[in-house]
Amino acid sequence: MPSSPIRKLVPFAEEASSKGVMIYHLNIGQPDIETAPEFIEAMHNFEGKVLEYSHSAGFESYRRRYSERFQERGLNIGHNDIIITTGGSEAIIFGMMSCLNPGDEVIIPEPFYANYNGFAQMAGVKVVPITTYIDDSFALPSVGEFEKLINSKTKAIVICNPNNPTGTLYTDEELNQLRELVIKHDLYLFADEVYRVFAYGDKQHTSILSLAGLEEHAIVVESVSKIYSACGARIGALVTRNKAVIATAMKFAQARLSPPTLEQIGAMAALETPQAYFDEVREEYISRRDLVVNALREMPGVVCPNPGGAFYCVVRLPIDDSDLFCQWMLESFEYDKQTVMMAPATGFYATPGYGKNEVRIAYVLKKEYLEKAMVCLAKGLEAYPGRTI
């Protein structure tokens, strides 16, 4: 199993913290946004005398209300098209194990969420990266570039939209090109849509479940972690109209018995969260994004595309090695007893050597802290011995 690039610097952060250094954690997607109140209240109000198993697919009442929410979005999804999982992570694992055999290949645009590597390793699947580039704002490669990588072992394409780690929101044109590609080659199209409510400006998120002709191909992953700021709840969902995939995934669901009971109760209540909550959270993230992107673009030699969604950006820095730089910021640097923790982008690429001068920044802290973090980063770049300009 590969180590997590998001968490591997934790020992250095703990050492710095023990010395009284304030650390701004921009390395991990743990928002400080308050969890949807409906979620918390439902768990507080639980009056059961026994905390029992749910159905292996999740409580039917939850799945039925969940399917109604899909239908309100114009997506024809029934409750039997949904399996509730222990976080979005388990949904991806179940999906890979259901759709892919050991030795099969899956194409994933890089940089990608690092844990996809671990999930593929569990399933015995080979990840084949297709590179996206910061100078193109991490747009998807052309169909022709994808087709160069397709062979008899290729069984699926995986995307994250909006994207973690880049914040890229894919256009309808890009998604329709993928639609044609997976139909042509009879592939599965996995879409990790856990950040779907975070689309900025005049852009809208498009679910692959809305694309005609993908009824047997589309495998969608959702989660309460980001949408309701409930990362510790560990409730996700595998969603597909493909009955064979659902039947196979149910075997894995039964093997782990059931998803968490209390958290399902909270998640079902969270489905009633008013739109005002999402509007407020969305505007907060837009203001945080603008603060961070503007500050980064003022730093000499820094390149930062403007994210269209989620709450991450991948940034090119004038440094020799992002792994060394991120460790140095924790181990050897402080400014007014403060420093910044970031994720080296090398861990988000499958191609060796890529991401050496890039980091992922998660703008998940309140603006007061983000302002201080950007000052620390600017000072750190000025002092770093491996600076390249």
Q: Which two tokens stand for residue 334?
A: 């402080």
Domains of the chain: 10-34+276-383 (3.90.1150.10), 37-270 (3.40.640.10)
pTM, two decimal places: 0.96
Per residue in 194-207, is it b (16+ CB within 10 Å) or e — as a string? bbbbbbbeeeebbb
Q: 75 is written with which tokens?
A: 């997506």
Strand 82-85: give its sheet, edge to edge.
82-85, 236-239, 218-223, 188-192, 154-160, 105-110, 126-131
**Secondary structure element (H or E) that encloses residue 85, with its range:** strand 82-85
- Tell me how far CA of residue 114 lies from CA of 127, 165, 349, in angstroms: 11, 9, 8
3-state secondary structure of 363: coil
Strand order in the sheet with 312-316: 312-316, 358-362, 343-344
Kindly give the confidence (pLDDT) of every residue in the chain, 389 residues in length, as a single tens digit, with 9 standing for 90 and above.
877 766 779 999 999 999 999 999 999 999 999 999 999 999 999 999 999 999 999 999 999 999 999 999 999 999 999 999 999 999 999 999 999 999 999 999 999 999 999 999 999 999 999 999 999 999 999 999 999 999 999 999 999 999 999 999 999 999 999 999 999 999 999 999 999 999 998 889 999 999 999 999 999 999 999 999 999 999 999 999 999 999 999 999 999 999 999 999 999 999 999 999 999 999 999 999 999 999 999 999 999 999 999 999 999 999 999 999 999 999 999 999 999 999 999 999 999 999 999 999 999 999 999 999 999 999 999 999 999 99
Cβ–Cβ contacts within 10 Å for residue 94, how many?
A: 28
Determine the Cα–Cα distance for residues 110 and 355; give it in Å rounded to an integer. 10
Find tokens 């923790």 and name the residue: 341
Burial 140-176, CB ≥16 within 10 A → b, else e = bbeeeebeeebeeebbbbbbbbbbbbbbbbbeeebbe
Q: What share of the chain is helix, strand, coil (3-state, %, to 5)?
A: 40, 15, 40
